[in-house]
Amino acid sequence: MNFNNLIHHNALKKKILIDNGHGCNTPGKRSPDGRFREYAYTRYIAKAVVADLRDLGYDAERIVPEEYDVSLSARCSRVNTWCAELGRRNVLVVSIHVNAAGKGDRWYNATGWCAYTCKGQTRSDKLADCLYKQAALWLPGHRLRMDYSDGDADQESNFTILTNTYCAAVLTENGFQDCEESLRFLESDYGKEAIIGLHVDGILDFIDPDRPYGYKDLQRLRNEGLIPARRTV
């Protein structure tokens, strides 16, 4: 596959917004031994997702490039500014987080990946469906936390980033920062690539389901030295 054929030059005029959770000044939000910081990990993943979507020809950016925490109201305002400019159906936001079973005081055994949407049936549910589909492909053998009480897999919550934004919005919880088994996976090279891949392919399944390529094509071309390494922003 030629890289020029891989790039989607039109990009469907969709704006993809990626939100990395919390910040360097957020209390807690780390592993019990302090080595893992949620803000740093989610920024690593978010930067990679944005870089890869851009390399594939799509319009993507992070809504919080700052290292420090930005208020939820400011995050929502940044998303809604794009909704006002482009139309809410032409914008989506995915907020990337890492879960925790406790308050950072000790290790737990909780594992699994899940996605949240606001309550009720909206376009966000379709985006979450796409992310769950890719999570099943990228995370074989890992638990997917699902709630089918309303007919679909995603869990529902009144998280501000989900309820106060005007576009399709999903929050993902990628493993548990207070589970040693989960951290071994998240911190490994293949674990990071799996989390990046499920977000890239899940988002593209939502906005461009008929594309003839996926994240693994981008990986292969990089591994073969046919295209440059990832350039994060």
CATH of the domain at 69: 3.40.630.40
Write the CA distances from 46 to 20, 178, 186, 194, 217, integer angstroms: 6, 21, 14, 13, 19
In a domain, 93, yes or no: yes
For residue 46, what are the domain limits? 3-223
- Which pLDDT band, with edges at 50, 70 and 90, does 168 fall under? very high
Q: How many Cα atoms sit within 13 Å of 89 on the Cβ side?
A: 1
- In the chain, the amino acid numbered 181 is E
Q: What is the pLDDT of residues 81-114, one digit of tens each?
A: 999 999 999 999 999 999 999 999 999 999 999 9
User: Based on the structure, what is the number of domains in the chain?
Assistant: 1
- Which pLDDT band, with edges at 50, 70 and 90, does 231 fall under? confident
Question: 17 burial class (0-12, 13-18, 19+ CB within 10 angstroms)?
Answer: buried
In a domain, 232, yes or no: no
In a domain, 231, yes or no: no
In a domain, 233, yes or no: no
In a domain, 179, yes or no: yes
Helix residue spans in 139-214 (DSSP H): 160-163, 180-187, 189-207
In a domain, 229, yes or no: no
Predicted TM-score of the model (pTM): 0.95
Dig out the tokens for 170 from the structure. Answer: 């999903």
